[in-house]
Amino acid sequence: MQHITVLGSTGSIGNSTLDVVARHPDKFSIFALTAATQVDGLMKQIQRFSPKYAVLVDEDCAKSLAERVAAEGLDTQVLSGQAGLIAVSEDERTDSVMAAIVGAAGLMPCMAAARSGKKLMLANKEALVVGGTCFMAAVQSGGGTLLPIDSEHSAIFQSLPENRDFWPQRVDKIVLTASGGPFRTRDIQTLSQVTPEEACAHPNWVMGKKISVDSATMMNKALEVIEAHYLFGVQPDRIEVVIHPQSVIHSMVQYVDGSVVAQLGTPDMRVPIAFGLSWPDRVASGAAPLDFSKVPPLTFQAPDPQRFPGLALAWQALLAPAGTTAVLNAANEVAVDAFLKRSIRFDQIHMLNQHVMERCVPDNPRTEADLLDVDAHARRTAREMLVNIAH
Ligand code: NAD
Ligand code: MG
């Protein structure tokens, strides 16, 4: 029996994880569930999965959840704050941690899980983009396993040789596929008028708001390029992005002999989630199998740098001083939040990201604390710049 902590259980990935878990009660049980503020959502999950712990980051929300848990006579213990997230991530009674918090807020619990040698299933790409080599070193020192949940990285992991030692000499290129999001064919002149509702309406996936906006700007793919660099140890010039609007091929590995290995499937996050939960075994995910008689023609095109200027920031950040990927991530979190609140325009997300990256040059951050300082400084800079551009 695998005892699982789900960080960010009330979100899109969190709910899909619980859907797969519920299909295999003989294999998986829930140790802890966590969320930011969602009292009702977490209460329903507690009733269904009876975890040992539930964590709400917000203190007041945690208090009202604890009252409701007590009123129903349930056994779940309620914790709060970052301390609560860290406690359930490193507890010796949990075997694996699904990291499905959105943003850099997930860094500390991820690091705690990594250091204590858990099987860490990583959906929370921002944590790795901020943590970088420090994050990978924590995985190494803990002796646990890091499994990607992002569909592209799960596809790459499945297309790579099992033995990591063979990767450098055999792999020529990692090819990340991207759907191109909702604005792939929209008139570029009108991108400044995009509303949050339009940006969140993704053609192929239903996801949280932050990653939906990131998919529309293709900053999501930029974060994924950085994620691939750290996860697989590939140099930035060996990572390529190709637009593939049907989202059937989830990514590919090109070998030195010219052979390309890809992973395919219906666009349903339960597939990479089930893979992460059961690896190296396989279990049913609930996703519909691919019906080749109905699959539309698969097409590919290079991303247009004018339409998606944010994509190039990934390579710029990877070639800049260490810690710059954390700067880019922080700027983007502030920018997306401001866009969702209608304080800045869609096209200003990129402007802000670029300016903050130019302004904030990290001074060789080494530890998690250094990286959190870099993150905080970039956020402050982004907020100052926002004042000048907000309408
Ligand atoms: P979401 O917004 O639907 O859910 C986020 C979860 O994190 C919620 O449970 C929320 O309560 C919690 N949370 C939010 N802020 C928090 C904070 N400050 N501290 C602690 N908890 C907090 O997001 P999502 O779409 O499920 O995405 C989660 C992560 O997975 C993101 O990093 C995203 O990039 C990645 N991801 C998502 C998908 C997808 O299909 N949704 C696919 C690939 C990767
Ligand atoms: Mg992805």
Q: What is the DSSP string of 229-296?
A: HHHH---GGGEEEEE-TT--EEEEEEETTS-EEEEE--S-THHHHHHHHHTTS----SPPPP-TTTPP
The CB of 57 under 6 Å from ligand 1? The reply is yes
The CB of 38 under 6 Å from ligand 1? The reply is yes
The CB of 10 under 6 Å from ligand 1? The reply is yes
Distance (Å) from CA 157 to ligand 1 centroid: 22
The CB of 104 under 6 Å from ligand 1? The reply is no
pTM: predicted TM-score of the whole model, two decimal places: 0.98
Distance (Å) from CA 210 to ligand 1 centroid: 8
The CB of 174 under 6 Å from ligand 1? The reply is no
Looking at all shown ligands, the one closest to residue 86's CA atom is: 1
The CB of 114 under 6 Å from ligand 1? The reply is no
Distance (Å) from CA 151 to ligand 2 centroid: 5
Q: What is the pLDDT of residue 144?
A: 95
Q: What is the pLDDT of residue 84?
A: 98
CA 85 to each of CA 10, 36, 299: distance values in angstroms, whole numbers, following the listed order: 14, 10, 42
CATH number of the structural domain 2-148 = 3.40.50.720
The CB of 82 under 6 Å from ligand 1? The reply is no
The CB of 109 under 6 Å from ligand 1? The reply is no
Report whether 28 contacts 1 (CB < 8 A).
Answer: yes
Domain limits, the chain: 2-148
Residue spans of alpha helices (H) in the chain? 12-22, 39-49, 59-71, 81-90, 107-115, 125-142, 151-159, 167-170, 196-200, 209-217, 219-232, 270-278, 313-319, 324-340, 348-359, 368-389
Distance (Å) from CA 228 to ligand 2 centroid: 11
Distance (Å) from CA 211 to ligand 2 centroid: 9
Distance (Å) from CA 13 to ligand 2 centroid: 12
| The two three-digit tokens of residue 168, written as one number | 């450098």
Looking at all shown ligands, the one closest to residue 39's CA atom is: 1
Distance (Å) from CA 265 to ligand 2 centroid: 14
Q: What is the pLDDT of residue 391?
A: 67
Residue closest via CA to ligand 1's atom 23 equals 208
The CB of 227 under 6 Å from ligand 1? The reply is no
Atom of ligand 1 nearest to the CA of 209: 2
Distance (Å) from CA 10 to ligand 1 centroid: 8
Q: pLDDT digits over 221-280, tens only?
A: 999 999 999 999 999 999 999 999 999 999 999 999 999 999 999 999 999 999 999 999
Low-confidence spans in the chain with pLDDT less than 50:
none
C-alpha span between 307 and 180 (Å, rounded) = 10
Residue closest via CA to ligand 1's atom 4 equals 11
DSSP string covering 330-353: HHHHHHHHHHHTTSS-TTHHHHHH
